[in-house]
Structure formats: structure tokens, C-alpha cells
Amino acid sequence: MNTVLLLIILIPILEIYLFIKIGSQIGAFTTISLIFVTAIIGVYYARYEGLNTLKSGVTQLYKNQMPLFELMSGAALAVAAFLLILPGFATDLLGFFIIFPLTRRIIFQLFSKNRKSKVHIKDDLIEGEYEDKDNENDKKL
């Protein structure tokens, strides 16, 4: 089954399950309030971290370095803000993990290790010489 389709089905099921379990423990009004509070705090903190990432990226550019981590962090913060806006506890938890710089760096390292192991660099190199022959039509121009 397609991974995206599986996630579209499983994430709402997980969120509904968590709503029922947490709502039965702390009450419906408190659960709804908690969802709104986490969304507001998360979006505010995502904005704060986004501005810090932008400043760090500009600093990297001034040093004449490629701001690769900052570019990845900016995209990750956009995903985190989206996850925090979605109502639910599992998406909020994942969004908060992505927002904090320490856990974001750990997540990047985990994904980069997976990607590096799948890349195979071939050492097959064919050397040769070539000769550029002028065409008579090129001389007329």
C-alpha cells in the first residue's frame, strides 16, 4: 500500500484514539483548550525559531558558506507549523520535536544516514580524447 495513503488513514485514527483517551481522563473542555493552547504556542515558537534560522542563514551567507542546515531547518519549521495547526496530540508532539533545534538536528542526522547508505558511487570512469572538427558552415558565420 502506498505510504502516503497509509498515513492519511492512520493519522486521523491515532488522533481520534488519543482524543478519546485523553478526553476521558481530563475532560472534553480541557482537551479542546489544550489543543488550542498547543497550536498557539507551537505557531509562535515556530515563528521565533524561523526568524533565528533566517538570521543564521544570512550569517552563513556573509561568511561565504552554503546555509544547507538553515535551508533544511526552514522547510522543517514550515512542516512543524503545519503539524501544530492540525488538531491532535500526535501531530503536536511531532511538530514540537521538529521545532526544537536539538531534536531537529537528531532527526536530520537519522534521515541523512538513511540516505547515504542508499547512494552508491561508481568508480567506473572512461577516459578518452576528442577532436573538435570545424564545420565549413561555422566559418561562414
What's the per-residue H, E or C state across 88-131?
A: CHHHHHHHHHHHCHHHHHHHHHHHHHHHHHHCCCCCCCCCCCCC
Domain boundaries, the chain: 11-116
Rg (CA), the chain: 25
Are 101 and 49 a contacting pair, CB within 8 Å?
yes
pLDDT in tens, 9-64: 899 999 999 999 999 999 989 999 998 998 898 888 888 888 888 888 888 888 88
Q: Is the pLDDT of residue 1 over 60?
A: yes
How far is CA 91 from its chain centroid? 14
What's residue 119's pLDDT?
A: 46
pTM for this predicted structure: 0.68
Work out the pLDDT band at 4, boundaries 50, 70, 90: confident
